Chains A and B, each alone.
Chain A
Amino acid sequence: MSRTDTVTYDSPDTRNLLDHTRQGVIGKPLDRPEGPLKVSGSATYSAEWKFDDCAEGVLVLATIAQGTVQRLHKQRVLDMPGVLAVLADEAMTRRSTQGTAGEAPVQGVHTVDYFAQPIALVVAETFEQARDAALALEVDYVESKSPIALDPESPDAEVEDPDNSETVEGGDLEKAMHDAAFAIDVEYRTPGHASAAMEPHATIAQWHGDRLELHGSYQMLAYNVKEIADCLSIDPEKVRIIAPYVGGGFGSKLGITHEAVAAAIAARQLKRPVRVVMSRQQVFETVMRRSETRQRVRLASDASGKLIGLGHEALVSNLPDEEFAEPVTQATEFLYGGENRLLKVEVARISRMTAGSVRAPGEAVGMQVLEAAMDELAEAVDIDPVELRKRNLPAKVPVEGTAYSSRMLVEALDQGAEAFGWDQRRPRPCQTREGDWWIGMGMASAARVNMLVPAEARVTLKADGAALVETDQTDIGTGSYAILGQIAGEMLGLPIDRVNVVLGDTSLPAGAGSGGSFGAISTGSAVMRACEAIRTTLSEALGCDTDALDLKDGTATSGDLSQSLSDLLGGNDIVETGKIEPGKTAEDFSQASYGAFFAEVAVHAFTGETRVRRMTGAFGFGRVLNAKTARSQCLGGMVWGIGSALTEELAFDLRDGHLVNHDLAEYHVPVHADVPAIEVILLEERDAAASPLQAKGVGELGICGAAGAITNAIYNACGARLRNFPMTLDKVIPHLPDPFAEVA
């Protein structure tokens, strides 16, 4: 019997179809199909498309933080060789859009909201001409007479409740803290972070009559079309975006960015294609930052370590009137017990570039702090940190009472601990010394909310028995090409080389886009549903119930009936578009991916330098769609955890508001030498409430708590309990024990 599903996902699909299909490609660690293109340099990224007569644009950024542009001295620049135009159009954007905005961000480049905001675009025949002219452009400003604060912790900073998160309150936290056998009340800080995707933002814009075509680097094309159309006051139907390969995003390419809007305006004025590529510095300065946070964590436990109270309050920042506030307490809501609770986020209004989603907004910084505080509680209670977590897993979400869809946290803790050799850890700090290095171990839980979002995909089963999957879904390194092909291959009984996946073009059905770990499960579910419809047609042609249809290696079988797909199709293609939208399952269940991190570090007894020696992560996120690409997502997240723990920090000059470390020399992402052997354990799980695939998101899970494990390992190594990320040498040194003392 075929399931008659509505588009919305209202009840868990417990049929678990992918465990009953026969092809055997789902979940397999297959190579990425686009791999050969990428390793040979023949995958075409945004700035690499060639168009005749393409002009080059370079953005000009403000050298004040707040005020207005009084005058651009255009003429001198227009007289320079090759210069075609100096644009300061009010349709150009001065702030970034948030993910899924679907509308224009704040426009108008005469007003300056933050240091290094775009104020103009210079266009010339060549890149070198445009760059020199942009540098030469003189600008007169009028500085704001009533500037807002540059520092979120300044007494002058206006602090508000954000629109995008609600305070969670239950019971009486103050009383619980008073009554507790053990109470931890600590304040942590995390700095701002940059996405720092390897490919700088770039767009080539061209007009075909009233139709705009963009080749660019974006994560969520269907939304980006609406955003740029709104910026330009044109019909979204007139916009096409092409982005088959995107050199990383990590949140920075969720919304349409400055260079795209500027390029489109320039191309319209000059009546020729215009390319605008941001410099690395411009990407850092104008695109998006993860907010810095100040977090107060209160943990009240009984004598056994069971939480009776939990407080997590955060101060984050953004520009005035921006809706987004880093949702720091997002996972704290459901991870541990403690009915007496207060979870709250406040946002300080300051003058810095727009704050928005950087990989795992909320959990990336919220979890590492919560997990560091939990380590402090474990020490106070004097129980093993793993055991403390296991004692605090509630049956239902505290306060709200929502049921969990599935939760592999205990399995992750146990299997991770065993693989890592956690039983070798010595519970007290400063117990293990190897030469000049203190050695320690730490752990943390991982948790990240799961989201299903609207998605469509078209699947064509061609007359020759090959399949074509088409959607505007992007692959930003996430593995979309691989997993969407595997889902179609599994559902239609085709070897993977008989499935072709075409992505990243808005002339195709709108996929979910890449963000929030939702791309694979959302667009994958749409592909699955399209394939289900094809299976129904095939079963009718074969003369059997859909449930009795077996598809494998291009042959349809049911009992004694058997026919090759090409015979069954009789020269015709079958084309189906699958759709899914979130429904009641999103409200009826608390859905999240879970895991556990274990880290061993060495801290230099004299310099305070920390080296991560090894890490293990164990993760449960529903069905694994491709064990190779899922593992790589987890690995990558843990590498981000190393950066967040030890090196990454946006540094702002509080005198004039400029970002001091605006490139990859000064903002330190982990390099090869910083990353040790990392072990990843993928736990097989089925979560019917999360998606028809039984899969949950994995793209961000690997970062959510990872830095906490490293921080806890630093404490275990040398006794430095630091509450100010990143744990750089200068912060560690004052807490180091006498390097010459006898090791106890």
Chain B
Amino acid sequence: MALPMSRASVNGTDHALPADPRRTLLDWLREDLGLTGTKKGCDHGQCGACTVLVDGRRINSCLSLAQLHDGDTIETIESIGSADNLSPLQKAFVTHDGFQCGYCTPGQICSAKAMMQELSEGWASAVSDDVTAAPDITREELRERMSGNLCRCGAYSNIIAALEEVLADAASERADA
């Protein structure tokens, strides 16, 4: 049974975690909290459609039991921007047609948000030539870092184009600042 104090913050709101220890973080978000923007594509950590941010890091929410998140801060696609108030990342997905059916899309966007944070923190990837240097933001790096998020419609190159635009805008903002 869940401890009486088992609670997590989801998109800024405090919630009691579910009683059934079998309930995954993904099913808790979708079924109990009604946050269906997070998608179930495989339930086995193979597709990335269920990607959410836990304490700022991206995880596959299907691979994590809800009760393990006592005290955690969870962000889902719903916290990134709503349909009438899209974030720059979401807007770029629309402009570059970085999706077709849309089912993998919230996961791609959550993953991309965390991936950009990882880049800014200097994380290396499997394709980084020098794992101690600040990563070059090349297409190869972006593709490698987004490869946990499958898109069967094949919108990959449009997604990379969207990410490049957002990263370029962020870089020019930093240069202006």
A38 to chain B, nearest CB (A): 3
> Could you say which of B44, B97, B106, B157 contacts A31, with CB atoms under 8 Å apart?
B97
Q: Please provide the chain A residues from 420 to 453 with a CB less than 8 Å away from any CB of chain B in the complex.
A: none
B157 close to A248 (CB less than 8 A): no
Q: Which of B76, B139, B147, B159 contacts A41 (CB 8 A)?
A: B76
| Sampled A-B contacts (18; CB under 8 Å) | A39-B109, A40-B82, A41-B37, A45-B36, A48-B36, A126-B20, A128-B20, A198-B39, A200-B40, A277-B40, A280-B47, A477-B102, A478-B100, A629-B97, A632-B158, A635-B157, A671-B147, A673-B147
Query: Which of B35, B41, B100 counts the most chain A CB atoms within 10 A?
Result: B100
B35, B101, B142: the one within 8 Å of A247 (CB): B101
- Say whether A637 faces chain B, with CB atoms less than 8 Å apart: yes
A574 within 8 A of B: no
Asked if A717 is at the interface (CB within 8 A of a chain B CB), the reply is no
Q: A663-B44, A663-B46 are in contact. Are A635 and B154 (CB under 8 A)?
A: yes
In the docked arrangement, what's the CA distance between A34 and B97, Å?
11
Assembled-state Cα–Cα distance A292/B148 (Å): 28
The digit string for A230-258, where 1 denotes a CB below 8 A from any CB of B, is: 00000000000000011110100000000
User: When the two chains form the complex, which single residue of B36, B46, B157 contacts A44, counting CB atoms closer than 8 Å?
Assistant: B36
Listed in ascending order, the chain A residues whose CB lies under 8 Å from chain B are: 31-32, 34-45, 47-48, 50, 126-128, 132, 195-200, 245-248, 250, 277, 279-280, 476-479, 628-629, 631-633, 635-640, 663-665, 669-673, 675-678
Contacting pair B90 A640 (CB below 8 A): no
- Contact B157 A37, beta carbon cutoff 8 Å: no
Count, chain B residues at interface, CB 8 A: 64
Report if A665-B46 is in contact (Cβ < 8 Å); known contacts: A36-B86, A40-B83.
yes
A672 touches B83 (CB 8 A): no
CB distance from A469 to the nearest CB of B (A): 20
Report yes or no: B47 in contact with A677, Cβ–Cβ below 8 A.
no
User: Which positions 110-159 of chain B face chain A at CB distance < 8 Å?
Assistant: 139-140, 142-144, 146-159
With a cutoff of 8 Å between Cβ atoms, the chain B residues found around residue A43 in the complex are 102
A477 to B23 Cα, complex, angstroms: 30
* Complex: A169 Cα to B101 Cα, angstroms: 41
Q: Besides A198-B151, A250-B152, 4 other CB < 8 A contacts?
A: A41-B77, A43-B102, A635-B155, A665-B44
> What residue in chain A is nearest B149 (Cβ atoms)?
A672
Are the CB atoms of B97 and A38 closer together than 8 Å?
no
B65 nearest CB across to chain A (Å): 11
Which A residues lie within 8 Å of B155 (CB)? 632, 635-636
B72: Cβ under 8 A from any A Cβ: no
Q: Which residues on A sit within 8 Å (CB–CB) of B148?
A: 671
Contact between B86 and A664 (Cβ–Cβ < 8 Å)? no
Cα A246 to Cα B155 in complex, Å, equals: 16
Are B105 and A669 neighbours in the complex by a CB distance under 8 Å? no
A37 — which chain B residues lie within 8 A by C-beta? 83, 102
State whether A664 touches B147 (Cβ < 8 A): no
- Give the interface centre of A36, A246, A277, A669 by most chain B CB atoms within 10 Å: A36
> Distance in Å from the Cβ of B23 to the closest Cβ of chain A?
6
Tell me if B93 and A39 are in contact (CB < 8 A): yes
Contact A36/B44 with A128-B20, A477-B153, A675-B156 known, Cβ cut-off 8 Å: no
Q: If A40-B82, A128-B22, A672-B143 touch, does A280 touch B152 (CB 8 Å cutoff)?
A: no
Contact with A664, one of B83, B99, B103, B150 (Cβ below 8 angstroms): B150
Which partner residue on chain B sits nearest A643 by CB separation?
Answer: B154
Contact B157 A678 (CB under 8 A): yes
Whether B37 and A477, one on each chain, are in contact in the complex, defined by CB atoms closer than 8 angstroms, is no
Option from B78, B101, B143 in Cβ contact (under 8 Å) with A476: B101
- Kindly state the separation between the CA atoms of A381 and B97 in the bound complex, as whole angstroms: 43
Q: How far is the CB of B131 from chain A (nearest CB, A)?
A: 17
What residues of chain B lie closer than 8 Å to A638, measured between beta carbons? 154
Quote the shortest CB–CB distance from B132 to chain A (angstroms). Answer: 22
* Nearest-neighbor residue (CB-CB) of A245 within chain B: B102
Q: Contact at A477–B157, with CB atoms within 8 Å? A: no
Supposing A38-B99, A663-B42 touch, asked if A672 and B159 sit within 8 A by C-beta, the answer is yes
Which of A32, A628, A632, A677 is packed against the most chain B CB atoms within 10 Å? A632
A352 to B93, CA, bound (A): 39
Contact between A198 and B101 (Cβ–Cβ < 8 Å)? yes
User: Which residues of chain A have C-beta atoms less than 8 A from B100's C-beta?
Assistant: 248, 477-479, 629, 632-633, 636
A67–B76 Cα distance when bound, in Å, is: 46
Chain B nearest CB, measured from A405 CB (Å) = 27
Measured CB to CB, the closest approach of chain B to A150, in angstroms, equals 26
Chain A proximity mask over B86-97: 1 for CB below 8 Å, otherwise 0: 100011011101
- The residues of A that contact B93 with a CB separation of less than 8 Å are 35, 39
CA separation between A245 and B34, bound complex, in Å?
17
Contacts of B53 in A (CB 8 A): none
> Are A40's CB and B90's CB within 8 A?
yes
Residues A672 and B146 in contact, CB atoms below 8 Å apart: yes
Query: What B residues does A196 contact at CB under 8 A?
Result: 152
| Least distance between B87 CB and chain A CB atoms (Å) | 9
Q: How far is the CB of B71 from chain A (nearest CB, A)?
A: 23
- In the assembled complex, the Cα of A640 lies from the Cα of B142 at a distance in Å of 20
Q: Is B84 an interface residue (CB 8 A)?
A: yes
A246 to B94, CA, bound (A): 18
Chain B residues lying within 8 Å of A36, measured Cβ to Cβ, are 83-84, 86, 90, 94
> Which residue of chain B is the closest to A283 with respect to CB atoms?
B42
B25 proximal to A (CB < 8 A): no
B34 vs chain A, min Cβ distance (A) = 7
Interface centre among B30, B38, B83, B106 (most CB of A within 10 A): B83
Bound-complex Cα distance A639 to B152 (A): 9
- The answer, yes or no, to whether B10 is at the interface (CB within 8 Å) is no
Q: Does B165 contact A (CB under 8 A)?
A: no
Task: Provide the residues of chain A in CB contact with B70, threshold 8 Å.
Answer: none
A32 engages B156 (CB within 8 Å) = no
A639 near B77 with CB under 8 A, answer no
Minimum CB distance partner of B151 in chain A: A198
Which B residues are in CB contact (< 8 Å) with A669?
150, 152
List A contacts of B152 (CB < 8 A): 195-198, 248, 250, 669
1/0 per residue, CB under 8 A from A, across B37-80: the answer is: 11111111011010000000000000000000000000011101
> If A39-B93, A198-B103, A247-B101 touch, does A664 touch B158 (CB 8 Å cutoff)?
no
**Chain A residues positioned under 8 Å from B91 (CB to CB):** 39
Q: What distance in Å separates the Cβ of A29 from its nearest Cβ neighbour in chain B?
A: 8
- Chain B residue numbers with a CB within 8 Å of A636 are 100, 153-155
Residues of chain B within 8 A of A50, CB atoms compared:
34
A39 and B150 contacting across the interface, CB-CB below 8 Å: no
Interface-centre pick from A245, A248, A277, A676 (highest chain B CB count, 10 A): A248
Say whether B160 faces chain A, with CB atoms less than 8 Å apart: yes
C-alpha spacing A246/B103, complex, angstroms: 8
In the bound complex, CA of A44 to CA of B155 (Å):
20
Chain A residues positioned under 8 Å from B77 (CB to CB): 40-41
Q: Do the beta carbons of A199 and B43 come within 8 Å of each other?
A: no
Question: In whole angstroms, what is the CA distance A127 to B23 when docked?
Answer: 9
**Interchain CA distance A632-B31 in the complex, whole Å:** 32
Residue pair B23, A128 in contact (C-beta under 8 Å): yes
A637 CB contacts on chain B under 8 angstroms: 154
**Which of A195, A199, A635, A664 is in CB contact (< 8 Å) with B39?**
A199
Chain A residues with Cβ below 8 Å from B30 are: 48
Q: How far is the CA of A663 from the CA of B43 in the complex (A)?
A: 10
Residue B104 CB within 8 A of the other chain:
yes
On whether A639 and B102 interact (CB within 8 A), knowing A669-B150, A673-B147, the answer reads: no
In the bound assembly, the distance between CA atoms of A38 and B83 in angstroms comes to: 8
Bound CA span A640–B152, Å: 8
